Amino acid sequence: MGRVSTFLVVFSAVFAAVLYSSAAQTVHTVGGDICWEIPPNSSLSYTNWTSGKTFSVGDILIFNFETNQHDVARVTKASYDACNDDNVIGNVITTEPANITLATPGDHYYICTFGSHCVAGQKLAITVRASSSALGRGPAAAPVSPPDSASTSLVSCFLLVFALSIGVALIL
């Protein structure tokens, strides 16, 4: 193989690997079994749910709730603490399921704006870290659980790119 074709093979493999690892995301179903509602036991339920979990840029939050009974609003810390919707960031999501991709690192706050639900504990605070790949966790070590279709298509993509690069290498 010439230098150009070798380069192409390496480049393609690296490109595909980067593509794969950057898509290594964790899908978090908020609240686990209790979904997104007024916590049945204590106002600490969503706090309990977040303990031991890590949230990274690219991860997805899924809020499962009953449409017209609850909603999801991202708010500032002040509004989270005070349980008001004075400082909503973006749009309030009113139909379930609300799928939110965590796009920025830092503290994120979510509340339900219905009645006194937030006061009753329907509020979520998480700290989002920079993307997992940036922290040196390879795709094998990351808690990877992307949707099946995405995972399959990414593997296909990897194989396709790799096969193409082999083909190009043989031609050159």
Distance CA 112, CA 68 (A): 11
Residue number, 37 or 57, with CB nearest to Cu ion: 37
The number of residues that bind Cu ion (CB under 5 A) is: 5
Mask for 62-81, x = binds Cu ion (CB under 5 A): --------x-----------
Query: What sections of the chain are H helices per DSSP?
Result: 3-22, 45-50, 77-82, 148-171
- Is 117 a residue that touches Cu ion (CB under 5 A)? yes
Distance CA 26, CA 57 (A): 10
Distance CA 44, CA 164 (A): 52
Minimum Å gap between C-beta 115 and Cu ion is 7
Write the CA distances from 60 to 6, 11, 26, 29, 92, integer angstroms.
37, 29, 6, 8, 17
Choice from 93, 112, 128, 142 touching Cu ion (CB under 5 A): 112
The piece of 47-55, 108-116, 142-150, 162-170 that touches Cu ion (CB under 5 A) is: 108-116
Residues 119-138 that bind Cu ion (CB under 5 A): 122
Strand partners, 100: 61
Minimum Å gap between C-beta 114 and Cu ion is 4
The piece of 73-81, 88-96, 115-123, 159-167 that touches Cu ion (CB under 5 A) is: 115-123
59, 25 contact by CB (below 8 A) = yes
Residue number, 118 or 142, with CB nearest to Cu ion: 118
What residue ranges bind Cu ion (CB under 5 A)? 70, 112, 114, 117, 122
